Structures are given as C-alpha cells and as structure tokens.
C-alpha cells in the first residue's frame, strides 16, 4: 500500500517559513551568504591541505574529508531551500524529495562516524605520538575514511527505504527539506514502529560514537596534562578543542532533531534545528578549524602571499 500510494505523489510542498512570508527574503539572503561562505571555507581547507606539504599528515587528510562531506551535505539541501524562498513556488518533485531524503541521511550519518574517526586520529597523535605515523599509515587512513562513507550509505539505504514503506497521506512538508522525521509525519495510520526504529537507529548513530569520543578525550586530556612543554599543551588543547566544538555542534543538534520527542518541542523549533545542522554547522566547521589552528593559518597566509606574487 505504501509504495503504490507514494508513487502517485507528483511532488511535495516544502513549507519552510511560508506562514511568515515577510521573513522569506531575509532568510534567502542569510542562507545564500552562509552557503557561499561554506563553499569558500571548505574549498580553502581542501586546497591548502593538498598544496602545503606540511599538512600532508593524517589529521588534515581527515579534515579534508570533513570539508568534502560538508560541501556535499549543504549542497544536498540549500539550493532547493533558496529556490523555495525566492518565489511563490514551494514545490519539490517526488523524485527530488526522495533523492534529498537518501542523500541527506547518507551524508549526515557519514559525518557522525567521521567525527569518531577523527577522534581516534587525535587519540593516537596525543597518546601514542612516537608511533603516530606508523599506526596511521596511508593505507589505514584510507580504510578509516571509507568506513564512514560506506556506513552512512548503508544506514541511509535501509532507513530511507523503510520510511518510504509508509503510506503518505499529505503532500505538505512542514520543514525546509525532505528528511526522515518530516516524512514520517506525513504518514496516515500507525507510525509508532517507524518512529521507534528512527529513534533506535539515531540513538545508535549518536550515543555510541559520542560516548567513544568522550572516553577517548578523557584519555587525551590526561596525556596532554603530562606534556612538559606549555607550548605543546596549548597546541594539543587547541587542536583537540576545535574537534570537540565541532562534535558538540553536530551531535547536539542531531540529538535534538531526531531524538527529542515531537510533542516536547514545537514544530518551529524542529525546523530551525534542521536549518542549523544543514546550513550553520557546515559553515562554521572550517571557521573553527582555521581560527584555532596555527598551521592552517600559516598555510593560508602562504597561499595568499603566493597568489599576490603571481599577480
């Protein structure tokens, strides 16, 4: 029943903030600016990680992966948001909505696992510094980078397909994008099983990695405090602090959006949390890493000076 009913849908209406049309142009400008800043920030990190030989170490390999992921993550939702905010047409085709559903969940799940991989890299760097380059061999780095992408893809294929088995009785999505919680709310009949599965999977993809990350940072903190050099301690805290800020931004918003019961939070709150982790988090990630990292700032200055000299 679910598949037949859903296939008859020609498209959906993404409400966003349609109930406040006077705010649409403000949101359009803010989101467009955030998108452009995200593109520039993440492309810059990818570029300097490739061009500066001093950044050819595992940490920046994973940071480049995160930047690539953030570029794809924000592009999977923001262009459609901008189209819907620009004019009176708020529709998205059925195929477009389903594609966004799969891709958005894939990339979100990938980031949850990738942040865990990055925490493991920091753990080895701080707690096993003498063996860091031996343990984090190029082969292991590629394998560790592949795990989040493949794991996220598997989760999206299973969870999104399971969600689409529900018979959808409405076409109005009260959100800025097509994601699992928003589509479950369109279903008629009993949706408690799908909500329970959503909560269970999201708890696994947030609670388990976050717990491991926090445990690893407990060991990292103890190791950092044993470093004799004040400069060494400061550098370690800065690098690890940047990663922890990104971790709390991502996991905090994801837990609120996917695990807090809908009845305990207003629909508007849910929409703006979705907006936060789909737009704001990919934008601030490169800012956090560049503003708190001397090596990245040094590489960026070198790139800018070289660009001016070539002119």
Run means of pLDDT, 10 residues per run, the chain, 311 residues: 54 74 85 93 89 86 93 92 84 89 93 93 90 93 96 92 84 84 81 81 84 91 82 78 85 77 57 82 84 74 68 56
CB within 8 A of 271, min separation 6: which ones? 16, 17, 174, 175, 176
Predicted local distance difference test score (pLDDT) of residue 205? 81
Predicted local distance difference test score (pLDDT) of residue 18? 63
Please, what is the Cα angle at 123 between 117 and 127, to 5 degrees? 160
Half-sphere CA count of 223, side-chain side, radius 13 A:
17
Give CA–CA dist 58/61, Å, rounded: 5
Give CA–CA dist 90/86, Å, rounded: 9
CATH number at residue 187: 1.20.1070.10
3-state secondary structure of 294: helix
Q: Considering only the C-alpha atoms of the chain, give the largest distance between any 2 of them, rounded to a whole number of Å.
A: 67
Ordered alpha helix ranges (H), the chain = 2-7, 24-51, 58-75, 78-86, 94-127, 132-135, 138-163, 180-184, 192-225, 230-259, 267-275, 281-291, 294-310
Predicted local distance difference test score (pLDDT) of residue 267? 58
DSSP H or E segment with residue 11: strand 11-14
Query: Is 300 buried (19+), middle (13-18) or exposed (0-12) by CB count in 10 A?
Result: middle
Give CA–CA dist 287/202, Å, rounded: 27
3-state secondary structure of 187: strand
Domain count of the fold of the chain: 1
Q: Which domain holds residue 217?
A: 2-310
Give CA–CA dist 166/162, Å, rounded: 8
Half-sphere CA count of 240, side-chain side, radius 13 A:
26
């Amino acid at each position: 029943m679910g598949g037949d009913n859903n296939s008859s849908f020609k498209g959906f209406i993404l409400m966003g903030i349609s109930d406040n049309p006077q705010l649409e142009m403000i949101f359009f400008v803010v989101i467009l600016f955030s998108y452009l800043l995200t593109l520039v920030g993440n492309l810059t990190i990818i570029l300097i990680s490739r061009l500066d030989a001093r950044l050819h170490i595992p940490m920046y390999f994973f940071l480049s992966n995160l930047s690539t992921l953030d570029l794809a993550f924000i592009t999977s939702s923001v262009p459609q948001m901008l189209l819907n905010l620009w004019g009176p047409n708020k529709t998205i085709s059925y195929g477009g909505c389903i594609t966004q559903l799969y891709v958005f969940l894939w990339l979100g799940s990938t980031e949850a696992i990738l942040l865990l991989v990055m925490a493991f890299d920091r753990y080895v760097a701080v707690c096993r510094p003498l063996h860091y380059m031996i343990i984090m061999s190029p082969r292991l780095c590629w394998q560790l980078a592949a795990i989040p992408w493949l794991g996220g893809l598997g989760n999206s294929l299973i969870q999104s397909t399971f969600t689409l088995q529900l018979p959808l009785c409405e076409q109005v999505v009260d959100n800025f994008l097509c994601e699992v919680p928003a589509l479950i709310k369109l279903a008629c009949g009993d949706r408690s099983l799908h909500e329970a599965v959503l909560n269970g999977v999201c708890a696994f993809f947030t609670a388990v990695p976050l717990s491991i990350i926090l445990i690893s940072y407990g060991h990292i903190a103890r190791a950092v405090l044993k470093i004799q050099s004040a400069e060494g301690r400061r550098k370690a805290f800065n690098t690890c602090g940047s990663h922890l800020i990104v971790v709390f931004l991502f996991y905090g918003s994801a837990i609120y959006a996917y695990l807090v019961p809908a009845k305990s939070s207003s629909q508007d709150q849910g929409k703006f949390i979705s907006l936060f982790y789909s737009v704001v988090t990919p934008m601030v990630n490169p800012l956090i890493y560049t503003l708190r990292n001397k090596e990245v700032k040094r590489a960026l200055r070198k790139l800018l000076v070289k660009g001016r000299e070539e002119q």
